[in-house]
Structure 1
Amino acid sequence: MLPFKSLLTISKSASTPVFVQLSEQINQLIRAGTLSAGQRLPGTRQLADWLGVHRQTIVAAYDEGLAQGWLESRPGSGTYVAVHFSDVTPQALVSETANNLPNEKPGYAFAEMPFLKRPVLINQSGLRLDDGFPDIRLAPMDELSRAYRSYFRWGDPQKQFGYNDTKGHLLLREQLSIHLNETRGLRTTPDNVLITRGSIMGLHLVSQVLLQPGDIVVTGETTWAGATMNFLKAGATLLTVPVDQHGLDVEALADLCEQHGAIRMVFVTPHHHYPTTVTLRADRRIRLLQLAEQYGFAVLEDDYDYDFHYLSRPILPLASADPQGMVVYVGSLTKSVAPAFRVGYVVAPTGLIDELARLRRIIDRQGDPILEFAVGQLFKTGDLKRHFRKALRTYHARRDCFCDLLTKELPDAMQFTKPDGGMAVWARFDPAIDMNQLAERAGREGLFLSNGLSHNPPGQRLNATRLGFASSIESELEQSVAVLKKVLS
């Protein structure tokens, strides 16, 4: 008889019930070959005496093994290891110090994709000059909470809490269509709108539908890595063109079209180019649309911070001047409200929207109907538009404050152009400054900022980074610049 008293150990203080502990340990002994197929287990009274537990605990442990197929009961004889385990090769017990722990390294091979290895941005506590995040303290939390509660009192519960439209909640699509038509000069219906979990999901869906392996995608030399990661995942070949103080160099794009002909997509952030914040000049916008029609490529327009333009009225999107349906327009409420509200959208002709919705169905059956309804309600009541106006005034003042501080306190350390809009300053530091060391020193002083290395095109060293001002009040901006001045001295 095996020494069950030493093989089986229990902890009555553990959160796992004792009978489950025993059942799992018996299963492990079977897998390891310590208990062989057809072997008889001790009687329930005998094992209960050995382990100092109630007999019903052993009965429950055996019943668990019987239910899972590890054990079998023979009437009048007892409980045995199931005979079908005679065909199973025993598994050797693995030392906890081994290098191949299954919770760290799988037992099968898979191809890692180096372009996916990118640091995940997380909102930092304390002082921060981030990538250009909104101030969550301004978000209309009370209004959103009321809209959430109204969902539970509205309509048919069977419908409200069942499956919803793959394209997104109809109320939000209706209200968003109205909002985009009024503020951005678009000509949409709700059927032209797909609600996504942030703009990154929209970019992923569009990339998977429009791109085939080997297709050429053109971006600026500096661009958003989140977009290029999706293009590479779809198997696209990336080409780049310069970005200057007037945005994407569309004549360089025209040259690429002449050389390659079959360009499939051009990715742009024309309102405020990411990361440099410059606005694509009007003549270049017209030329870009002309090239799209001439060569038949799609223009993927990411309008990530349209609501925050300080110089004048926001520049209308490319999509507003697109008579041939060449532009796929992607946006989000993440920067307008808060990153936790994963509400983005894709606007395109219905033929593409329908196909995107079909693909979305096998990735994420639907979005969050409750959140989408609540946001739709905030559009309908005007609460969200009032929030946009308040945030615009606030961020405008913070931009001016921050730029004044940089000019006064750090005149020789960096160069920047006061951005016409957006939520960050593109700062180009003196070449003698090591950006990685700068970020590390600032971090030790309690200030988070990016080292900007992810913005460097291959083979180039821009020595620049984005310094977000929107998420900090004026006093926090003053402290942040003081820390920056200290670590640069």
Structure 2
Amino acid sequence: MLPYKSLIQIDRESSVTLYIQVCNTFITLITNGTLKPSDILPSSRVLSELIGINRNTVKLAYEELISQGWAESIDRKGVFVLSKLPIISKVKLPENDKNQRQEGFIWENKFQKEIIISGKSIQKDQIIIDDGFPDVRLAPIDQLMREYRSLSKKFYGKNFLKYGSTMGSENLRLSICGYLSNTRGLTVSPENIIITKGSQMGIYLASQLILNPNDTIAVGISSFTTADETFKYSGANLERIPIDENGMDTDYLEEILKDKKIKAVYIIPHHHCPTGVTMSMERRLKLLNLAKEYRFAIIEDDYDFDFHYENKPYLPLASIDHNQNVIYIGSISKTFAPALRIGFMIASPMFIEAAAALRKMIDRQGDTLLEEAFAVLFENGEMERHFRKSLKIYKQRRNHFCDILQSDFKNEIEFKIPEGGLAVWANFHQNINLEKMSNDASAKGLSISNGKFYKNDFFHTNAIRMGFASLTENEMEKAFVILKKVLQ
């Protein structure tokens, strides 16, 4: 007889009744091959004594097994596993070997080499120098949730809980139209906009609609790694274009275009990721002219346009594009709070309709109630107040962050004070092993990048992005004390 005393564990605190617990355990033993068809089950008296429950409870469990078709009762013999069940091989315990042959259905893992963002929570006592994220403590979350609750209680607000437009809340699209017109000189209508779950969804939708297998897309030698992987997943080939202090080298791109068909160009003109450089106006205009001449799409990722600290920012390419070659992607998540997945993509109405049809296949629609709440914050000026307040605080934090780098790390780190954005591109001395630095810092309570995310086949700089926006001055100082000890 099997060791039922250890196999059947009863939880008297569970909301699941005892007889169902016993029944479910027997089903597991049958489906994992421990019990075979026609195997006899212990008598109700024996099992009740083994696991310490009432005999009638065991009888109820057996009756449930029989009613579900897992067992059968034979007069004067007992209860047996149903003889008609197929024989199931005993399940082997899984091993933690990633190279082990997979059991079950056959499939190919296309993401083995991709760096996955772990779901593991960072220890609460750790200080984090992140990649350049906003400080969620500054975001008017209370106001957003107040509007969310208010809308949900109103009669007309109940409609927002039903199926809505795949393109997103019309009110939010209208609000974004007004905001983009005031801040970027970008005049569009709601038909030009689809609300996305952050900028990454926009990149994915654009790549799937534009790129076919073996098409070529031009990207920077240094580039946003997740975007690169998205383009590769569509089957496209990446053409690497140099990036310097003025952004993507459009002269180099022009020479490539003379000999090779380019389907699209992906750029981050403001605060290029990862280096933070800004594309010059001369190159922006040349890129638009090249797009018109060679008829390729420009995917403009403008994830943090709102944060400039010195001069007035250049207008996005989408604002000065008169030939409908630019697909403009923006994010509210990157400027408000990363977990609140709200972004937008702007293009011609026909392209947006196609994007909505594609989006419908993977994500019917976004959180309409949340989108409506954001629309209210745009309309009542709360978002503008948040951006103004954040801009002032982030500039102070940038200055303090850079002052410490200049005074305490001049022998270890080279950098330029960023004109905008939320991070410093920090080049470490070649003798510093970033992976070891990251591991040692983590052991001392500081979470910091090891630089692997920014590298590709063409880009191997010993550098990382060091986000300053999400740290108070006190937190910065604590972080740098730890980093200094690690580097020494």
TM-score (norm 2): 0.89
Counting only pairs closer than 5 Å after superposition, residues 228-377 of structure 1 correspond to structure 2 as: 228-260=228-260, 262-377=261-376
Q: Give how far 1:128 is off.
A: 2.9
Structure 1 window deviating more from structure 2 (452-461 vs 198-207): it is 452-461
Distance in 2, Cα, partners of 1:4 & 1:394: 64
Amino acid at match of 2:307: F
> What does residue 457 of structure 2 align with?
458
Amino acid at match of 1:219: V
The answer (yes or no) to whether the contact 1:10–1:18 under 8 Å persists in 2 is: no
Q: Give how far 1:184 is off.
A: 1.2
> What does residue 118 of structure 1 align with?
115
Amino acid at match of 1:36: P
Q: Give how far 1:40 is off.
A: 7.7
> What does residue 475 of structure 1 align with?
474
Matched, 1:182 2:182: yes
Structure 1 window deviating more from structure 2 (115-124 vs 455-464): it is 115-124
Structure 1 window deviating more from structure 2 (391-400 vs 471-480): it is 471-480
Distance 1:239 1:5, change over 3 A: closer
Q: Give how far 1:435 is off.
A: 2.1
The answer (yes or no) to whether the contact 1:203–1:227 under 8 Å persists in 2 is: yes
Distance in 1, Cα, partners of 2:88 & 2:64: 21
The answer (yes or no) to whether the contact 2:266–2:300 under 8 Å persists in 1 is: yes
Amino acid at match of 1:136: V
Distance 1:26 1:219, change over 3 A: same
Q: Deviations over 1:433-477 (max 9, x none)?
A: 222223233333333221223323425531111111111112222
Structure 1 window deviating more from structure 2 (220-229 vs 42-51): it is 42-51
**Number of residue pairs aligned between Structure 1 and Structure 2:** 482
Distance in 1, Cα, partners of 2:26 & 2:47: 12
Amino acid at match of 2:90: A
> What does residue 106 of structure 2 align with?
109
The answer (yes or no) to whether the contact 1:304–1:331 under 8 Å persists in 2 is: yes
> What does residue 445 of structure 1 align with?
444
Q: Give how far 1:304 is off.
A: 0.9
Q: Give how far 1:482 is off.
A: 3.4
Distance in 2, Cα, partners of 1:100 & 1:405: 44
State the secondary structure of the residue aligned to 1:391.
helix
Q: Give how far 1:49 is off.
A: 7.3
The answer (yes or no) to whether the contact 1:442–1:484 under 8 Å persists in 2 is: yes
Counting only pairs closer than 5 Å after superposition, residues 77-88 of structure 1 correspond to structure 2 as: 81-82=81-82, 84-85=84-85, 88=86
State the secondary structure of the residue aligned to 1:137.
coil
Distance 1:98 1:485, change over 3 A: closer
Amino acid at match of 2:199: S
The answer (yes or no) to whether the contact 1:116–1:229 under 8 Å persists in 2 is: no
Amino acid at match of 1:165: S
The answer (yes or no) to whether the contact 2:434–2:450 under 8 Å persists in 1 is: yes
State the secondary structure of the residue aligned to 1:152.
helix
TM-score (norm 1): 0.89
Structure 2: gaps of 5 or more residues = none
Amino acid at match of 1:357: A
Distance 1:59 1:176, change over 3 A: farther
The answer (yes or no) to whether the contact 1:271–1:306 under 8 Å persists in 2 is: yes
> What does residue 133 of structure 1 align with?
133
> What does residue 203 of structure 2 align with?
203
Amino acid at match of 1:89: I
> What does residue 19 of structure 1 align with?
19
The answer (yes or no) to whether the contact 2:221–2:458 under 8 Å persists in 1 is: no
Q: Give how far 1:42 is off.
A: 7.4
Q: Give how far 1:336 is off.
A: 0.9
Structure 1 window deviating more from structure 2 (417-426 vs 402-411): it is 402-411
Distance 1:351 1:402, change over 3 A: same
The answer (yes or no) to whether the contact 2:416–2:425 under 8 Å persists in 1 is: yes
Distance in 1, Cα, partners of 2:419 & 2:236: 33
Q: Give how far 1:7 is off.
A: 9.4
Distance 1:75 1:100, change over 3 A: farther
Distance in 1, Cα, partners of 2:40 & 2:460: 71
Q: Deviations over 1:214-246 (max 9, x none)?
A: 110111100101101111111110110110010
Distance 1:46 1:381, change over 3 A: same
Structure 1 window deviating more from structure 2 (290-299 vs 15-24): it is 15-24
> What does residue 151 of structure 1 align with?
151
Q: Give how far 1:310 is off.
A: 1.0
Q: Give how far 1:61 is off.
A: 1.7
Q: Deviations over 1:37-80 (max 9, x none)?
A: 5x786786786678664454234323432443323579999866
Distance 1:387 1:99, change over 3 A: closer
State the secondary structure of the residue aligned to 1:362.
helix
The answer (yes or no) to whether the contact 1:398–1:473 under 8 Å persists in 2 is: yes
Q: Give how far 1:138 is off.
A: 0.5
State the secondary structure of the residue aligned to 1:396.
helix
The answer (yes or no) to whether the contact 1:215–1:237 under 8 Å persists in 2 is: yes
CA RMSD after TM alignment: 3.0
Distance in 1, Cα, partners of 2:390 & 2:325: 32
Amino acid at match of 1:168: G
State the secondary structure of the residue aligned to 1:419.
coil
Distance in 1, Cα, partners of 2:197 & 2:148: 18
Q: Give how far 1:431 is off.
A: 1.9
Q: Percent of pairs identical after alignment?
A: 38
Q: Give how far 1:480 is off.
A: 2.8
The answer (yes or no) to whether the contact 1:66–1:73 under 8 Å persists in 2 is: yes
Q: Deviations over 1:115-161 (max 9, x none)?
A: 65214277775433221011111111221121111122223365232
Q: Give how far 1:84 is off.
A: 3.3
Distance in 1, Cα, partners of 2:44 & 2:412: 78
State the secondary structure of the residue aligned to 1:21.
helix
> What does residue 412 of structure 2 align with?
413
Q: Give how far 1:354 is off.
A: 0.8
Q: Deviations over 1:387-414 (max 9, x none)?
A: 0000011111111222222222222322
State the secondary structure of the residue aligned to 1:111.
coil
Distance in 1, Cα, partners of 2:131 & 2:7: 54
